[in-house]
């Protein structure tokens, strides 16, 4: 039997086929996400992978609702696998807002599920690094998040030649729409048309815009002529002050597909234009209030970065570090009468924190040696008798004789 389409199996290195997914690479990406977020003072949270369906149907907008993995559970509750983390975060923050000093800076690495049409960079599950700030209205928070986004990608060794943050303003688009005579109820539909402009046939989007009373030319003129609003200038100034100005530009083609955004919005793209968006986010000041039924009003903002496009981009730019298994020590057993003493040494080495392997069963010494090399072992240790060992450094090929009771300390030193 095969796995479901759009769902991945993650194998440890070495990869069985060129298009297999690597758990070691996933770990490299997650470790980087965690490391950068923690350096910026963000704390990790998590929530359930299944939520009440209503959490999404009311708040995320039609696009995501059309992609839900939803069903009735055995208690006849309408539930859904989470397609995104933001509604869960808003629910969690609203429930215990008084417990936390503002601004709340939180991150998470959830697995998300969307029944999408499968295409390059889009699967039916993905992991998404989410970083959000709650309880801060000032644009300094928007800039802080964008800086975190930039530094996360830089920590993965991507440079300003590799990616760019395209910054825009949902508010500026809202004003454009209202000043152009757009009806309030049509606003979200309008944002979705603009969101798809780069991916859709011009004639198709032209028709859709006309229905709402706009022309493609009008929209194009706004995009081309787009001057940064005061808000966007302030954000860019803040990013420039950090020396990160090369990583960001104003681009009104960005509007974001989700319904809840209210202010500055942005997406990260690879500069060669080969891939879908690496990350996207923005300010959503009304979502917590909406989700808490008016009880808690917290301004909020954040972004999500998926692992799928990111892994493709890292492969494309040859930025994946060596990921195979490596060992500190391999205890060779050439004399089976020394197996028990060897097991004692294996245990001591592991307790001392050294990555240690040994042959489970009797094996020829040349086979054991080959295995130690395959596992990129540093030290090959062989008991000569119950008191003496030889330790060979497999990198330098230098060999020394060491009393058994001194092996652990000699390797630690
Ligand atoms: P989003 O733009 O829907 O935003 O997703 C963010 C990123 O997740 C995308 O740029 C992409 O890298 C990745 N992604 C989304 N869908 C898929 C998929 N089907 N397959 C692979 N990767 C995917 C959100 O989800 C917002 N909740 C982010 C956010 C957090 N806004 C504020 N805080």
Q: For 306-357, how does the pLDDT look when each residue is reduced to its tens digit (9 = 90+)?
A: 999 999 999 999 999 999 889 999 999 999 999 999 999 999 999 999 999 9
331-342 b/e (C-beta count within 10 Å ≥ 16 → b):
bbbbeeebeebb
Residues 132 and 279 reside in one and the same domain: yes
Residues 291 and 334 reside in one and the same domain: no
Residues 218 and 349 reside in one and the same domain: no
Residues 268 and 141 reside in one and the same domain: yes
Using the predicted structure, report yes or no on whether residue 114 has a pLDDT greater than 90: yes
Tokens of 358: 């040994």
The range of the structural domain enclosing residue 390 comes to 329-412
Cβ neighbours for 124, distance < 8 A, ≥ 6 positions apart: 4, 5, 6, 7, 113, 114, 115, 116, 118
Residues 264 and 408 reside in one and the same domain: no
Contact in structure between 75 and 277 (CB atoms under 8 Å): no
Domains identified in the chain, total number? 2
pTM of structure: 0.94
Contact in structure between 141 and 301 (CB atoms under 8 Å): yes
Return mean pLDDT, the chain: 95
Residues 284 and 385 reside in one and the same domain: no
Residues 96 and 158 reside in one and the same domain: yes
Reported as a pLDDT band with limits 50, 70 and 90, residue 11 is very high
Residues 276 and 347 reside in one and the same domain: no
Residues 167 and 282 reside in one and the same domain: yes
| Tens digits of residue pLDDT in 47-99 | 999 999 999 987 767 777 889 999 999 999 999 999 999 999 999 999 999 99
User: Does residue 337 fall inside a structural domain?
Assistant: yes
Ligand 1: residue of 33, 69, 121, 280 to mutate (most ligand atoms within 8 A of CB) is 280
User: Does residue 322 fall inside a structural domain?
Assistant: no
Find the residues whose C-beta lies inside 6 A of ligand 1.
84-86, 114, 116, 122-123, 126, 128, 130, 132, 258, 277-281, 302-306, 308-309
Contact in structure between 269 and 277 (CB atoms under 8 Å): yes
User: Does residue 202 fall inside a structural domain?
Assistant: yes
Residue with CA at minimum distance from ligand 1 atom 11: 306
User: Does residue 384 fall inside a structural domain?
Assistant: yes
- Per-residue pLDDT at 324: 87
- Per-residue pLDDT at 333: 98
Contact in structure between 70 and 53 (CB atoms under 8 Å): yes
Residues 298 and 390 reside in one and the same domain: no
Say how many Å lie between the CA of residue 110 and the centre of ligand 1. 11
User: Does residue 74 fall inside a structural domain?
Assistant: no
| Tens digits of residue pLDDT in 369-413 | 999 999 999 999 999 999 999 999 999 999 999 999 999 999 986
User: Does residue 190 fall inside a structural domain?
Assistant: yes
Mean pLDDT in residue range 1-24: 95
Say how many Å lie between the CA of residue 277 and the centre of ligand 1. 8
Say how many Å lie between the CA of residue 127 and the centre of ligand 1. 9
Helices vs. strands in the chain: H and E counts, helices first: 15, 19
Residue with CA at minimum distance from ligand 1 atom 25: 84
53-59: long-range contacts, CB 8 A cutoff, minimum separation 24 = 53/78, 53/79, 53/80, 54/78, 55/80, 55/87, 55/88, 55/91, 55/291, 56/80, 56/83, 56/84, 56/87, 58/290, 59/87, 59/90, 59/259, 59/260, 59/287, 59/290, 59/291
User: Does residue 361 fall inside a structural domain?
Assistant: yes
Say how many Å lie between the CA of residue 143 and the centre of ligand 1. 19
Residues 159 and 193 reside in one and the same domain: yes
Residues 128 and 107 reside in one and the same domain: yes
- Per-residue pLDDT at 254: 96
Rama region for 6: left / alpha / beta (φ>0; ψ in -120 to 50; rest): left
């Amino acid at each position: 039997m095969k796995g479901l389409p759009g769902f991945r199996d993650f194998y440890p290195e070495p990869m069985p086929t060129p298009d297999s997914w690597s758990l070691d690479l996933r770990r490299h990406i997650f470790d980087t996400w965690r490391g950068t977020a923690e350096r910026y003072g963000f704390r990790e949270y998590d929530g359930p992978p299944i939520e009440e369906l209503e959490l999404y149907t009311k708040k995320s907008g039609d696009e995501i609702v059309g992609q839900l993995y939803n069903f009735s559970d055995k208690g006849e509750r309408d539930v859904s696998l989470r397609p995104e983390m933001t509604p869960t975060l808003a629910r969690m923050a609203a429930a215990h807002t008084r417990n936390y000093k503002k601004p709340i800076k939180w991150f998470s690495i959830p697995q998300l599920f969307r029944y999408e049409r499968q295409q390059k960079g889009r699967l039916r599950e993905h992991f998404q690094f989410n970083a959000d700030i709650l309880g801060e209205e000032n644009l300094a928070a928007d800039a802080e998040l964008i800086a975190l986004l930039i530094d996360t990608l830089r920590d993965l060794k991507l440079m300003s030649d590799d990616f760019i943050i395209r910054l825009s303003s949902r508010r500026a688009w809202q004003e454009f729409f209202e000043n152009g005579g757009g009806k309030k109820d049509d606003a979200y539909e309008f944002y979705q048309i603009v969101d798809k402009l780069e991916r859709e046939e011009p004639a198709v989007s032209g028709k859709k815009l006309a229905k709402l009373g706009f022309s493609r030319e009008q929209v194009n003129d706004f995009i081309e002529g787009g001057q940064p609003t005061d808000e966007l200038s302030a954000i860019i100034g803040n990013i420039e002050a950090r020396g990160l100005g090369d990583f960001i530009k104003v681009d009104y083609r960005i509007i974001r597909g989700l319904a809840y955004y209210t202010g500055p919005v942005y997406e990260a793209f690879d500069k060669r234009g080969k891939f879908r968006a690496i990350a996207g986010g923005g300010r959503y000041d009304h979502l917590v209030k909406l989700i808490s039924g008016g009880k808690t009003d917290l301004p909020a903002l954040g972004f999500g970065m998926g692992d799928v496009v990111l892994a493709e981009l890292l492969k494309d730019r040859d930025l994946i570090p060596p990921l195979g298994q490596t060992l500190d020590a391999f205890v060779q057993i050439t004399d089976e009468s020394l197996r028990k003493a060897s097991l004692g040494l294996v245990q001591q080495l592991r307790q001392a924190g050294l990555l240690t392997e040994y042959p489970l069963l009797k094996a020829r010494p040349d086979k054991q040696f080959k295995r130690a090399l395959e596992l990129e072992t540093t030290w090959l240790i062989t008991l000569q008798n119950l008191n003496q060992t030889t330790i060979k450094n497999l990198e330098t090929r230098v060999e020394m004789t060491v009393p058994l009771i001194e092996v652990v300390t000699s390797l630690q030193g």
